[in-house]
Amino acid sequence: MAHILLVDDDPASIARNTEAIQNDGHSVSSSSTPADAVRFVRNELPDLVVMEAVMGGKLSGLDLARSLAQDHPDLPLIMLTKADDLMSDEQLASQDTDGWIPVRRYLEKPVMIDVLVDEIDHLLPEAE
């Protein structure tokens, strides 16, 4: 059983994803802000993080991904987002510095639950 951290400011997404991930046999913690997520990771390193790119109308999830990737390069990160709907091509391109958004999977919402669970199972360290 792995420990998954969900980071999203949408309580409905957190609830839906938590239920699916727990049904797959994993434990889940959640955070609604990047700052809380950073504190959580400092205290208890999860096996994988699933996060939203846009929280509170800002690109704070992308900043969180960069921070986590720098501090924990082996930590698998999955980004679930509607950022492509909210941002122009130029804004998105400006975030992908040198072709690098440091996540293993970038999935556009809505993501089917079985797809999310499959991606999590595939990326967990014991799956490698």
Domain ranges, ordered by start, for the chain: 3-111
Fold of the 3-111 domain: Rossmann fold (3.40.50)
* Confidence bin at 94 (pLDDT 50/70/90): low
- pLDDT tens digits along 21-39: 999 999 999 999 999 999 9
Omega cis (within 30) before 110: yes
3-class DSSP state for residue 87?
Answer: coil
Q: Find the angle CA(91)-CA(39)-CA(107) to the nearest 5 degrees.
A: 40
Whole-number pLDDT of residue 128 = 47
Neighbours of 112 (CB within 10 A): 10
Model pTM? 0.87
